Amino acid sequence: MEVWDIYNENREKTGKTHIRGEEMEEGDFHQVVHVWIMNKEGHFLIQRRQPWKIGWSNMWDCAAAGSVLTGETSEMAAIREVKEELGIDLQMSNSESLFTIKFPRGFDDHFLVVQNVNIGDLSLQYEEVGDAKWASIGEILELVQLGEFIPYHILETLFLMIQSKVSLRKAVAKDAEELFELQRKIFAPLYEKYEDHETTPVKQTFERFKERLKTGDFFKITMENSLVGSVHVYSISPGVMRLHMINILDEFQGRGIAQQVMMRMESLYPEAKSWELDTILEEKRNCYLYEKMGYVQMDKKWKVNDKMTLVHYMKTSCFNHLPCI
């Protein structure tokens, strides 16, 4: 018997649970995961569902998928599902959250894990999995055309995201020192330019930074395995997300990385009905970027000093939310 935690539309736990198979109440949501495993050659581990499975029977699918059980996080569920269905230990240290799809009854988190796996080492769950193999992007798309792979509408987005070489990995405590130094390096020129002694991250203590790392979600931005920046987001209130800070090293700016990251953030939090941020009014390039991404400058401004003014932006429409599968 599967038991799920119940969430509301803002992805907040309600304290209720649900038994799989029973009818869900209106306004109740649960969590689901899809795990995409890719080897270093760029091939994906796919499984074929058993012919007696209800829904997409005898069709090829991603490496593993399933519902998040009560008390689990999505990451925990991903590890469990892969172990149950394929018999392998998932290396979540090589994982990234790709996007989340909000569907009528839940939130579906898609993970990418880069991991080499020997097909001979798999132990397939007989009740669920009939076969497994490695397949290239071209081979998967061909299987879709043949009607043999589940026709996820997100496949094009998924493959473009992976081929972009820009990755987002959630920061953990051991990343604190590296990210702290990165932040100081990126903001040092702005500190020198505006002489902002009060709000600048350059003056933030390491202890304060470590506390900030625990608030909301902090991501490392990498490109072809090189650390190029970071992004920090958190919920202000139900349905309202704050893009607190996005940092890109100067040598990697102008490549569209910030735009990709902002779109990824929106696709990771489909429960968000609005996004907010503050930026330096005098930094016209940054203001242009945010306005290009759909943010609207609000009347709220405050002068930090004679050289620098902060301005508030808000986005309430045209989010990069993927439609349900």
Summarize pLDDT for 251-264 with one digit per residue, the tens. 999 999 999 999 99
Q: Are 140 and 126 in contact (CB under 8 A)?
A: no
pLDDT at residue 118 greater than cutoff 90? yes
Alpha carbon 216 to chain centroid, angstroms: 13
At 302 the pLDDT is: 93
- Per DSSP, the residues of 136-164 read -HHHHHHHHHTT-B---TTHHHHHHHHHT
Summarize pLDDT for 279-322 with one digit per residue, the tens. 999 999 999 999 999 999 999 999 999 999 999 999 999 999 98
The CATH label, of 3.40.50.11440, 3.30.465.10, 1.20.120.450, 3.40.630.30, for the domain at 166-315 is 3.40.630.30
At 225 the pLDDT is: 84
CA distance 289 to 279: 11
pLDDT at residue 1 greater than cutoff 90? no
Q: Phi-psi bin for 71: left (phi > 0), alpha (psi -120 to 50), beta? A: left
pLDDT at residue 100 greater than cutoff 80? yes
Mean pLDDT of the chain: 95
Tokens of 235: 């919920």
Q: Which fold has domain 3-163?
A: Nucleoside Triphosphate Pyrophosphohydrolase (3.90.79)
Residues forming beta bridges with residue 32, ordered by sequence position: 67, 108
At 199 the pLDDT is: 87
pLDDT at residue 117 greater than cutoff 80? yes
Domain residue limits, the chain = 3-163, 166-315
Residue range 118-129: mean pLDDT, rounded? 96
Q: Which residue has the tokens 């991903």?
A: 78
At 323 the pLDDT is: 84
pLDDT at residue 325 greater than cutoff 90? no
For 51, list phi and psi in degrees, rounded to 5: -65, -20
Residue range 16-39: mean pLDDT, rounded? 96
Q: Is pTM, for the whole model, over 0.85?
A: yes
At 224 the pLDDT is: 87
At 270 the pLDDT is: 97
Q: Say how many CA atoms lie within 13 Å of 70 toward its Cβ.
A: 13
* Residues constituting the chain: 325
Summarize pLDDT for 184-227 with one digit per residue, the tens. 999 999 999 999 988 899 999 999 999 989 999 999 999 988 99
Q: Could you give the angle at the alpha carbon of 37 between the alpha carbons of 42 and 224, nearest 5°? A: 50
- Per DSSP, the residues of 63-103 read SEEEEPPTT--HHHHHHHHHHHHH-----GGGEEEEEEEEE
Q: Say how many CA atoms lie within 13 Å of 302 toward its Cβ.
A: 5
At 201 the pLDDT is: 92
At 90 the pLDDT is: 96
H, E, C per residue of 15-52: EEEEECCCCCCCCCEEEEEEEEEECCCCCEEEEEECCC
Q: Which amino acid would we find at residue 255?
A: R
pLDDT at residue 277 greater than cutoff 90? yes
